[in-house]
Amino acid sequence: MFKKEKLKNNIRLITAPTKGTKTITVLVFIGTGSKYETKNISGISHFLEHMMFKGTKKRKDKKAISEELDSVGAEYNAFTGSEYTGYYVKSDYSNLELALDVVSDILINSRLDTKDIKKEKGVVIEEINMYRDNPMRQVAQNIEHLLYKDQPAGWDIAGTKKTVLSYTKKDVADYFRLQYTAKNTVVCVAGNFDNKKIKNQVSKYFSSINIGSPKEKEKVVEHQKNPESFIEYKKTDQTHLIFAFRSFFSLHSEKKFPLMLLANILGGNMSSRMFINIREKQGLAYYISSGADLSTDTGYLYIRSGVDNKRVHGAIKGILKELKKVKQKGVTASELKKAKEYFKGKTIMDLESSDELAEFLGSQEILTGNVLSQDELIKKINSVKLSDVNLLAKDIFKNENLNLALIGPFKNKKEFDDLLRV
């Protein structure tokens, strides 16, 4: 069970009391991310997330913030995506006031000091370098660039070295004032707390947040007529690749439920089609999985894997063969039943922890404004028909929706383009 309400200053509050737990999670979502940026300040949402931990009037620096939370054994961190930024503290339930105090303090009172900004540029550039050196991670960014090209949806969330070095204090402060507003904020509290007191507690700590109307993001433009590829040459011991099939629908569509089940059947676990046929039977890959990536205005189904450089062509053919089989013959009733039960079991287990529950509820609210409970989500999944999944497979697995990003020791793009047929 959860409760959704608005505070006087228009902050949205979601509370999810949980019996039997001794933890509390305070998770705050700000409705801004890389899709809300312009090219000259690309990556600034992520940079600002870093700056929130550098000190406030009350807590003079990073050490003061971290020591206070470390002293009670709390877990704390932040994350930036394309459409939201999140900040959380998870702790023993007796530390609720501390969690609220720290999270609200960094979100409202961070200094954004010029010296800290200068130093943090180096940190973020090293983070970019780290991701660039990790092909398993970088290939995920490459598929986004291939899908969306030179628009916010196709830019790296961390920005580029050039944009990061260009930020001024004014850039950071202006973006903070514009986007970090009450109207653009969701506070989610999950775990063991007094349900009668929580609204007043949150109101007290978040009363002085900025008031204003945040900037809207650009609408994503999608168009494709033929299969496309992004081949990045890199001397690696293993080739990392991702297939992405545009769905042309978003989080707002009811089609997301059969999409999630289709992804699960294909590569969601160790008994899925891809895992059994590509890894177990043919030994072509160590990791192979599939999933659905959906936002408020875009969506795609992906299959990702890491394969032997010498066998990459066979792996690509094998993956596409499995997709053709699903497209032509569909999935079976037993596969769909198993996928539903798997989804139900995973959801119930995941949402037993206060941090997972807070993210589950808060992310729905910040993205769609429509929050489904655990039971409502499972009901939606159970209502999916076999015909829904099979029709979706026919609609998605088309050449004009097919995209491949690959990182490995290859320079000839054509040799891969010639394989892209489904």
* Lateral strand order in the sheet of 185-191: 3-6, 12-17, 185-191, 23-30, 85-92, 75-80
CB 277 within 8 A of CB 322: yes
Backbone angles phi, psi at 235, to 5 degrees: -75, 100
Any residues with CB less than 8 A from the CB of 93 and at least 6 apart, and which? Answer: 21, 22, 23, 24, 191, 192, 193
CB atoms within 10 A of CB 214: 19
174 contacts: CB under 8 Å, gap ≥ 6: none
Distance between CA 74 and CA 94 in Å, rounded?
11
Q: Give the residue among 102, 89, 85 at the shortest CA–CA distance from 46.
A: 85
- The strand pairing partners of 231, in sequence order, are 406
What does each C-alpha distance from 328 to 74, 246, 324, 390, 395 come to in angstroms? 51, 18, 6, 9, 11
Beta bridge partners of 299: 294
Residue type, position 108, single letter? I
Distance of CA 7 to the CA centre of its chain: 27
Active-site residue, selected from the candidate residues 37, 49, 83, 359: 49
Amino acid residing at 218: E
Measured CA distances, 81 to 32, 129, 159, 182, 222 (Å)? 8, 18, 12, 19, 20
Query: Known catalytic residue: 49?
Result: yes
What is the DSSP secondary-structure string of 227-288? -EEEEEE---SEEEEEEEEE-S--TTSTTHHHHHHHHHHHHSSTTSHHIIIIIIIT--EEEE
Catalytic residue positions? 49
